[in-house]
Amino acid sequence: MEGNFLTYKSRPLVRSGNTIYYGSMADKFAVKLEIKSSKKSGDLQIADSVHVALIHTDPELPERKRAVKTSEKNGLYNALDIGAIWLERALAE
């Protein structure tokens, strides 16, 4: 894998604004996490509401047809945890 990425459960995490991609775009599936709202805790902004989507990485598919599963979760950890489970299951098939 090129570059040094932050990882979670041995898979890369890439952030662009309020969107985080989990997994490799070279695989058939990845997880897209969109931070919908956040709250302030001390000096930090903490993700409050996160939209999770298991997506196909095929660039030929239209954007609307890429999502396989979606959910709304409270907190980034909960969203990343369910996304990791979905991704493991999808890549195992």
Alpha carbons 11 and 9: distance in angstroms, whole number: 6
- Kindly state the percentage of the chain with pLDDT values over 70: 97
Start-to-end C-alpha separation, the chain: 23
Where exactly are the structural domains of the chain?
6-92
CA distance 46 to 39: 5
Q: What is the pLDDT of residues 28-69, one digit of tens each?
A: 999 999 999 999 989 998 999 999 999 999 999 998 899 999
57 touches 67 (CB < 8 A): no
- What pLDDT does residue 1 have? 45
